[in-house]
């Protein structure tokens, strides 16, 4: 969608060969639609490896002199406890910590772009799992194998499969996306950048992608393919993300976007139903815990 409107798009991937296949597929579809788009670039970045994130950021800054839109969309779901080489559970590192680090490393370029062109937007792609069952973020221990949550999350293994721990850790990582976006927006305003930069968050509803199948293979879901049938297409699932970074009138700093019917429907500006998503003490605590985890200060 962004490429079709003239954006120079860069996609980050763990596997460059797979990334090039996605690039070819997207460019073929754009050509079929008669759109003259810029080449899509593929760059390697593994969210399970902080050093890979740092290398990507440095390579990106060498190749590009501006960055207008960031879509932090990488995610894994409902997996067993697995520690990365950096010592963090795979869900919190892939879904949040590496996005935090990448954004911090690219911040000088984002800020200079905003100062020169005046319209930079970042979005963190969350999930309905940030709300359902009222998960929490344990900022004192991001590796907590079973962060606290509301009573309804105990039903997840019966509805989806896996264990409550699978989904409590996933919910934590997805709530972290919204908390990061909201704290970033707060800090943008405090730094006097609120007129030139926006930080948003969004969720795709239930979009039928490889995510559900991967979760099933990892033991976290009993019927990924069956679950997909109550959702919408990958393309429709991307619409709240597009709205969150590029809508000419509805893109608003601090806002949250998702499908109108929850799992499906047209994209709308909405509100995260988990009260913790707007808890300023938790927002600040997560930011500080994230700085400690990645070993870098993120100053605006």
Q: Which residues are marked as active site?
A: 170, 174
Strand partners, 42: 11
Q: How far apart are the first and last CA of the chain?
A: 30
CA dist., res. 39 & res. 10, Å (int) = 9
CA dist., res. 224 & res. 60, Å (int) = 35
CA 102 vs. chain centroid, Å, equals 12
CA dist., res. 22 & res. 41, Å (int) = 10
Strands 256-259 and 120-125: unpaired
110, 70 Cβ separation under 8 angstroms: yes
């Amino acid at each position: 969608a962004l490429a079709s409107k003239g954006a120079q798009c860069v996609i980050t991937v763990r596997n460059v060969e797979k990334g090039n296949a996605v690039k070819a597929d997207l460019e073929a579809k754009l050509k079929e639609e008669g759109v003259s788009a810029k080449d899509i670039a593929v760059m390697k970045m593994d969210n399970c490896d902080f050093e890979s994130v740092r290398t990507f950021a440095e390579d990106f800054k060498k190749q590009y002199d501006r960055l207008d839109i960031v879509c932090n969309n990488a995610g894994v779901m409902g997996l067993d406890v697995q520690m990365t080489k950096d010592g963090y559970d795979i869900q919190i590192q892939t879904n949040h910590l590496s996005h935090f680090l990448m954004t911090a490393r690219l911040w000088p370029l984002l800020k200079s772009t905003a100062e020169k062109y005046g319209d930079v937007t970042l979005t963190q792609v969350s999930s309905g799992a940030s709300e359902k069952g009222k998960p929490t973020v344990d900022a004192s221990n991001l590796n907590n194998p079973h962060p606290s949550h509301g009573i309804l999350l105990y039903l997840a293994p019966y509805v989806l499969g896996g264990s409550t721990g699978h989904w409590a850790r996933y919910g934590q990582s997805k709530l972290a996306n919204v908390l990061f976006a909201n704290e970033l927006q707060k800090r943008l305003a405090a730094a006097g950048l609120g007129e030139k930069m926006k930080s948003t968050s969004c969720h795709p509803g239930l979009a039928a992608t490889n995510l559900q199948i991967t979760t099933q293979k990892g033991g976290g879901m009993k019927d990924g393919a069956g679950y997909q049938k109550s959702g919408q297409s990958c393309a429709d699932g991307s619409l709240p993300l597009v709205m969150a970074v590029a809508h000419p009138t509805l893109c608003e700093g601090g806002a949250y976007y998702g499908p109108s019917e929850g799992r499906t429907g047209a994209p709308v500006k909405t509100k995260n139903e988990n009260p913790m998503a707007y808890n300023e003490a938790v927002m600040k605590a997560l930011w500080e815990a994230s700085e400690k985890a990645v070993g870098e200060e993120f100053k605006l």
